[in-house]
Structure 1
Amino acid sequence: MSQSTLNDDDLFGEAASEMREDVESSLEKAWAELPEADDVWETSADNVLGVLNGLRSALDTGDAEEHLRDAKKWFMMGQRADAFEDADDLEEEIEQLGTVIEDIGDAGEQVGALTSTIPGLRSTLEDAHAADDAADEDDADEAEAEAEEATADD
């Protein structure tokens, strides 16, 4: 084997090692961007809309998707170059992280839908109760008028 072949093999080994480090680093950064469990569980809001707005903010994944994309990119390059001796752990972590980010995104969409729905629902309920109260008041006035009329007839 020539000296240049050994150097090429050494360089490839270094590149493979650096590629794995890049994947691992991107995964660490992505995990760090995810919200903490307590951030999506605890609240200090005074009403439902405040809770929903706080939850929607807490469900922000920051740059996690971008870091996951970088991890996938370097992982794919390393895999195609057959640079990793054992990459099952990286592949599993990439899939797990992707699932977590997707779940957080889905929850964020649901919270966003509720956030836009709840004020309208509140208004509808207020209008419905106001109409019911007005109908009850009309019924009471009518009953009182009938009672007065009956008393006047006696």
Structure 2
Amino acid sequence: MSQTTLGDDELFGEAAAEVRADVENHLSKAREELPAAADVWETEADNVLGVLNGLRSALDVGDAEEHLRQAKKWYTMGERADAFEDADDLAAAIEDLEALIDDIEDAHDDVSDLTNAVPELRGALQEFEADDEE
């Protein structure tokens, strides 16, 4: 084997390790952006609308999607270059994180819908009660 080939193999190995580290780093940063379980469970609000607004804020994923996108990009590049000896753990972590972010965003959308609907419902009930009293 020539000197150049040994150097190229070593450089490829280093690059592969760096790509894996980048994927792991972005996955870690994405996880850090996710809300804490306590933040979506505990509340200090005086009424339903306050609870819903607090929950909607707590369900913000921040930059998690962007970090996930970066992780997927580097993972895809590493996979296509056949740079990983074993990347099943990375693929599973990406898939799990993607599903969790989707679930959080779905919940955020549901809470947003309720946040809009509850004041309208309250207003309609107040009108009904006022009409009923007349």
Amino acid aligned to 1:76: T
Structural mapping, 1:119-130, within 5 Å: 119-130=119-130
TM-superposed CA distance for 1:114, in Å, is 0.5
Structure with max Cα Rg: 1
CA distance in structure 1 between the aligned counterparts of 2:38 and 2:131, rounded to whole angstroms: 42
Structural mapping, 1:42-121, within 5 Å: 42-121=42-121
CA distance in structure 2 between the aligned counterparts of 1:30 and 1:120, rounded to whole angstroms: 36
Amino acid aligned to 2:117: T
Sequence identity, in percent?
66
Deviation by residue 1:27-65 (Cα, 9 ceiling, x = unmatched): 000000000000000000000000000000000000000
For the aligned residue pairs, the C-alpha RMSD in angstroms reads 0.4
Amino acid aligned to 2:76: M
TM-superposed CA distance for 1:85, in Å, is 0.3
CA distance in structure 1 between the aligned counterparts of 2:123 and 2:101, rounded to whole angstroms: 34
Deviation by residue 1:50-87 (Cα, 9 ceiling, x = unmatched): 00000000000000000000000000000000000000
Consecutive unaligned residues of structure 2, counting only runs of 5 or more, are none
CA distance in structure 2 between the aligned counterparts of 1:18 and 1:120, rounded to whole angstroms: 53
TM-score, normalization by structure 2: 0.99
CA distance in structure 1 between the aligned counterparts of 2:60 and 2:7, rounded to whole angstroms: 46
2:27 matched residue in structure 1: 27
Bigger relative contact order, structure 1 or 2 (CA pairs below 8 A, ≥6 apart): 2
SS of match in other structure, 2:60: coil
4+ residue segments displaced more than 6 Å: none
